[in-house]
Amino acid sequence: MEAIVISGHVLSDSGKGKISKSQGGAALTPENLLKSYPADAIRYWTASARLGNDVAFSDNQLKIGQRLITKLWNAFRFIKEHIQGTSFDHLPEQFGTVNEWILHTASEHFQLYRRHLDAQEFGLALDPIEKFFWKDFVIII
């Protein structure tokens, strides 16, 4: 199956009109944004828009995305340091209460994420991942 996803326009931060070069929006080209933010922060901001709806440009949303990316990277580095040399060939029968809870919670959030992603609702898909990371995962590491 092939699908077409139609996004809305990017509006000025006041939300009054779409950003275009003729309206003085040349500073917000992808090239210029990449000078200030990593690509993943820009992807985060664009994914936060509802499918087919216009979205206001938000420097704050870009900063939130950048913060999330930094935290994810730091969490990865922390975990990587603690599992190096670990063999996952022979897993225990019981993981313990906390580990079973986090695995169950992750599974629930990722099922919701997948449902929204399959429907190409990227902003809705982002929500369960963020909630899992900030409200569940971060508290146990």
In degrees, rounded to 5, the angle at the alpha carbon of residue 104 between the alpha carbons of residues 103 and 110 is: 85
- What is the average pLDDT across 116-126? 90
- Closest to 10 (Cα-Cα) out of 61, 56, 46: 56
The ranges assigned to domains in the chain are: 1-58
Of all residues in the chain, what percent are helix, strand and coil, respectively (each to 5)?
A: 60, 5, 35
CA–CA gap between residue 48 and residue 31 (Å, rounded): 20
Residue 104 has pLDDT above 90, yes or no: yes
Residue 30's pLDDT is 80
Indicate the average pLDDT of the chain: 85
Query: Among residues of the chain, what percentage have pLDDT more than 90?
Result: 42
